[in-house]
Chains A and B, each alone.
Chain A
């Protein structure tokens, strides 16, 4: 009788065997708890605070105030009127005037039509409930005592709003066309950019994978270049090319680059490498045997393309589309530079928070921006898991055959795309080096005197490098150790599953949203972590969290390739797991560890969106300096700083390459037989 058909009820009564935890188990669970706590504090709690902020409303509660007015001699006749009655009688404020933000203030003289600050009339007012509040000058009154004031002082009375929960902010948002139009704007430029980028990247990847074109290595390099610069750099290049004094302005036939056109072109530039990478992977793994089958069936190339290539790459295409969509809709730097009057969600958050100090509305826009981002993220995850399962170990890589005509066409195509990418960078570099575009094109280094401009100067540049290094070191340590703990600890399934979920969350959270959430959470004086607000530490924490997911997935992939019995062997030899971790796991995974650090470094150098809310004058960053100098009209220095970021990242990549090749050759001698 097979045991599998046995019934669970046959199990003997009594409790199940409960394992005693070893010291290593405790250490690993403790470590996992610490890193989970890190993610909760740096991600979950700030987001929660932001969400609750979007539902918190501020109202002037006129019913909570009472007034008395004296005659010319200062004698009160005992008549008491409530604020509500006064407003009804005078019609001083509309209902919408009474909703406000946390800093809202409302004067009261409008309730008294014959008010004059020179009049001898005295006024009395009081709160009818404890905690109702009004200011006289800067003194707050929140008890229910009557307060008598002369006319001149009464002028300085201001009512303060009461906080409540509700969807008023959202109602307010959707009844303001200037705001909700951004949803439509954001969606359509994201869709259009996605369509263009994915099409361009597909043919580029196709040329590199499926033709015998020359210079493939060079094109691969060029395609990845945009990753090294902040997303606002293409915006600056476009200003020089097509802006009011642009050299190619005529090509637009009167249309303005400031707006959707600029955003779409710039978005194509900075999302291209992401799409290219995903599609190229999808094409590289498709099975060469299918092509042999197709050609043995004498299928035409066109037919083969539609029945073999596209289905084989479809998951890659879908995934690339969602990644690009997500990047564009959450991007802030580019539309800030080139968007002009064209409003998009990410910039709205900035304008609400920095421009109008309306934090609640900033939170509302953030919540709205999260929705498409999370949606795109979930679909991408689903698709990626499909792609992995469709891979078989027996697949044979496709070997392209030379064909002069198609190879030539692809070479021309790739040259155009390459020219576009290099061109944008070259324009920035050129603009940075000339004296005064377009009137004096002689070369000078004037634009590199950052210390003479607003934005943080060279200090900002060195701050960025510091941030990059700190993020790379701290982030790699946290991410890799966290991934190790979830991958290799025993039991505790619920905890580990929860950890995996939290680790995926940052990818779905737009940088602007994360930054704003950090303001709400860390800039609260009652938060014990308030101390890190305005320091380099919060920038590091924010950047590590912002780029956690991709790093985590890289680490998990590397760890999954390790024999899962290493831990068992080590335990049987009575050695601490941490010894195994440092002596075997880390050295074997060193290539991935280095990949994670360079990824974090480059992103820390280029990121704008999250940190734009969090830097202080002392911790200004290069990428922010680009933004601020551009804002101040110092476009050439902005381009110069942007290119500094590019060269720094390129150098970092080269150093990374050397370390990977050089040091690894020594420590990883075991890889070769």
Chain B
């Protein structure tokens, strides 16, 4: 995850921003800085306020309270036409009765450019998005992915300082989506334009963003690079929302140990007091498999014996359902490489030993009982 474009210069600064619809609080005290040239993703479940925040940044739906600073200028109450941004919507909002050329040229007119300059710029943009000879067509004559790229070209035509993308890929099928992810990211890197993208697809966010803003119910749960968000989730919501996570009820024991069922495990450092009720969490791919009867040499071996109850082949790895009633652990999920399965001769119904590496075993607040 490169950040070569992103300087440490703050370009967009959101301060104590609230948005209220009637009596419903859609955004609650959001504070966030975005650096120049950075690619930031707003990620969160449906209805968490991502679009609302994006529209507040654009001035399309003004926030109720709080300020937005862009490029050192307070734009909090400016209408969209007086801000500096390009935007791509989920629907693309291409003008259906105008050709691709005219769609892209729409924003270039009335700004003192000559006809020739405009034609050149349109050609250059079509080249940039890889559709050099589609200019004479109408939007309905292009595929979804092509339309998406035209919308992008139209948005960046005027060289805006900020590019806003609201779920730009969600209307496309999976394969085109993966391909375009890469292209958009490439383009953004080339142009160095500060970009905010809204998505509820974690894979999209993880693969594209320099930084991810995880949102939930109108608040920011965590801001960080994709690896940070994935490896060091700030709380159980983030841990659970991004990637897979085994969750086991447990209790804190002498500082850095957790008691699960009748066993204790060493774990990642945390700030909980002793005897607190917490959730122990570990990702399936962090569980290390060992053959039956394996005994760890280390003191904090974190090994337990389990039954390999179910195996599911998922192409590049096996998803295994592990059971251990004796230790009170039920329904642990683990992803083992094909290699490991072969090497350890693991079969459905066999016993085995697994190791929960201490630095991957995390403790989180237990959510209130629903």
* Contact, CB under 8 Å: B16 / A25: no
Of A1, A11, A671, the contact of B140 (CB 8 Å cutoff): A671
* Contact, CB under 8 Å: A565 / B18: no
A501 contacts B by Cβ under 8 Å: no
* Contact, CB under 8 Å: A670 / B140: yes
Q: Helix, strand, loop or mixed for chain B's interface?
A: loop
* Contact, CB under 8 Å: B25 / A584: no
* Contact, CB under 8 Å: B87 / A16: no
**Also in contact, A8 and B20, with CB within 8 A (given A20-B77, A583-B98):** yes
Q: Whose C-beta in chain A lies nearest to the C-beta of B110?
A: A575
* Contact, CB under 8 Å: B77 / A572: no
Once the chains are docked, how many angstroms separate the CA of A19 from the CA of B83?
A: 13
* Contact, CB under 8 Å: A17 / B76: yes
B90 to chain A, nearest CB (A): 9
**Also in contact, A584 and B98, with CB within 8 A (given A11-B65, A20-B79, A574-B81):** yes
Contacts of B18-41 to chain A: CB distance below 8 A: 18, 20, 23-29
A449 contacts B by Cβ under 8 Å: no
Once the chains are docked, how many angstroms separate the CA of A571 from the CA of B78?
A: 12
* Contact, CB under 8 Å: B107 / A574: yes
Of A6, A20, A573, A673, the contact of B28 (CB 8 Å cutoff): A6
Q: B44-68 CB contact bits vs A (8 Å, 1 = yes)?
A: 0000010000000011101111100
Q: A10-25 CB contact bits vs B (8 Å, 1 = yes)?
A: 1110101111111111
* Contact, CB under 8 Å: A584 / B95: yes
Of A22, A579, A583, A667, the contact of B82 (CB 8 Å cutoff): A22
* Contact, CB under 8 Å: A565 / B91: yes
Of A10, A570, A571, A575, the contact of B79 (CB 8 Å cutoff): A571
Chain A residues with CB under 8 Å of B79's CB are 19-22, 24-25, 571
* Contact, CB under 8 Å: A568 / B217: no
* Contact, CB under 8 Å: A24 / B81: yes
A322 to chain B, nearest CB (A): 34
Once the chains are docked, how many angstroms separate the CA of A572 from the CA of B83?
A: 7
* Contact, CB under 8 Å: A22 / B81: yes
**Also in contact, A575 and B62, with CB within 8 A (given A12-B16, A667-B97):** no
Once the chains are docked, how many angstroms separate the CA of A14 from the CA of B78?
A: 19
B276 contacts A by Cβ under 8 Å: no
Contacts of A289-347 to chain B: CB distance below 8 A: none
**Also in contact, A670 and B64, with CB within 8 A (given A22-B82, A573-B158):** no
B272 contacts A by Cβ under 8 Å: no
Of B58, B109, B139, the contact of A575 (CB 8 Å cutoff): B109
Chain A residues with CB under 8 Å of B109's CB are 575
Once the chains are docked, how many angstroms separate the CA of A573 from the CA of B84?
A: 9
Contacts of A1-49 to chain B: CB distance below 8 A: 1-4, 6, 8, 10-12, 14, 16-25
**Also in contact, A16 and B106, with CB within 8 A (given A563-B93, A572-B85, A583-B98):** no
A11 to chain B, nearest CB (A): 6
- Interface core residue of A16, A24, A25 (most chain B CB under 10 Å): A16
Once the chains are docked, how many angstroms separate the CA of A572 from the CA of B158?
A: 10
Q: Whose C-beta in chain A lies nearest to the C-beta of B60?
A: A568
B154 contacts A by Cβ under 8 Å: yes
Contacts of A468-514 to chain B: CB distance below 8 A: none
Chain B residues with CB under 8 Å of A10's CB are 25, 28
**Also in contact, A584 and B97, with CB within 8 A (given A4-B217, A12-B16, A20-B78):** yes
A569 contacts B by Cβ under 8 Å: yes
Chain B residues with CB under 8 Å of A587's CB are 97
Of B16, B66, B81, the contact of A571 (CB 8 Å cutoff): B81
- Chain A interface residue count, CB cutoff 8 Å, equals 44
A608 contacts B by Cβ under 8 Å: no
Once the chains are docked, how many angstroms separate the CA of A294 from the CA of B83?
A: 59
B233 contacts A by Cβ under 8 Å: no
Once the chains are docked, how many angstroms separate the CA of A201 from the CA of B178?
A: 56
Chain A residues with CB under 8 Å of B81's CB are 22-24, 571-572, 574
Once the chains are docked, how many angstroms separate the CA of A287 from the CA of B25?
A: 39
* Contact, CB under 8 Å: B95 / A572: no
B340 contacts A by Cβ under 8 Å: no
* Contact, CB under 8 Å: B138 / A569: no
B357 contacts A by Cβ under 8 Å: no
B168 contacts A by Cβ under 8 Å: no
* Contact, CB under 8 Å: B58 / A572: yes
Contacts of A645-673 to chain B: CB distance below 8 A: 667-673
A588 contacts B by Cβ under 8 Å: yes
Chain A residues with CB under 8 Å of B97's CB are 584, 587-588, 667-668, 670
B141 contacts A by Cβ under 8 Å: yes
Q: Whose C-beta in chain B lies nearest to the C-beta of A589?
A: B97
**Also in contact, A3 and B140, with CB within 8 A (given A569-B87, A584-B97):** no
* Contact, CB under 8 Å: B106 / A570: yes
Once the chains are docked, how many angstroms separate the CA of A24 from the CA of B80?
A: 11
Q: A569-597 CB contact bits vs B (8 Å, 1 = yes)?
A: 11111111001000110011000000000
Of A8, A22, A569, A672, the contact of B93 (CB 8 Å cutoff): A569
Q: Whose C-beta in chain B lies nearest to the C-beta of A577?
A: B81
* Contact, CB under 8 Å: B76 / A572: no
Chain B residues with CB under 8 Å of A1's CB are 217
B345 to chain A, nearest CB (A): 48
Once the chains are docked, how many angstroms separate the CA of A566 from the CA of B107?
A: 12
Contacts of A541-583 to chain B: CB distance below 8 A: 563, 565-566, 568-576, 579, 583
* Contact, CB under 8 Å: B60 / A16: no
* Contact, CB under 8 Å: B58 / A573: no
* Contact, CB under 8 Å: A3 / B64: no
B215 to chain A, nearest CB (A): 10
Once the chains are docked, how many angstroms separate the CA of A12 from the CA of B28?
A: 10
B246 to chain A, nearest CB (A): 25
* Contact, CB under 8 Å: B77 / A17: yes
Once the chains are docked, how many angstroms separate the CA of A8 from the CA of B18?
A: 10
Of A16, A575, A588, the contact of B64 (CB 8 Å cutoff): A16
Q: Whose C-beta in chain B lies nearest to the C-beta of A667?
A: B97
B86 contacts A by Cβ under 8 Å: yes
Of B23, B26, B83, B110, the contact of A8 (CB 8 Å cutoff): B23
Once the chains are docked, how many angstroms separate the CA of A667 from the CA of B96?
A: 11
B218 contacts A by Cβ under 8 Å: yes
Once the chains are docked, how many angstroms separate the CA of A672 from the CA of B97?
A: 11
* Contact, CB under 8 Å: A565 / B89: yes
B214 contacts A by Cβ under 8 Å: no
B252 contacts A by Cβ under 8 Å: no
* Contact, CB under 8 Å: A574 / B158: yes
- Interface core residue of A6, A22, A572, A667 (most chain B CB under 10 Å): A572
Q: Whose C-beta in chain B lies nearest to the C-beta of A669?
A: B138
- Interface core residue of B60, B77, B81, B89 (most chain A CB under 10 Å): B81
The 5 A-B residue pairs whose C-beta atoms are closest, nearest first, are A573-B107, A3-B218, A22-B79, A670-B138, A2-B217
17 contacts between A and B (CB under 8 A): A3-B26, A3-B28, A12-B18, A18-B77, A19-B59, A19-B62, A19-B77, A20-B79, A21-B79, A22-B81, A565-B93, A568-B93, A569-B87, A573-B157, A575-B107, A587-B97, A671-B96
Contact surface of B with A, Cβ cutoff 8 Å:
16, 18, 20, 23-29, 49, 58-60, 62-66, 76-83, 85-87, 89, 91, 93, 95-98, 106-107, 109-111, 138-141, 154-155, 157-158, 160, 216-219
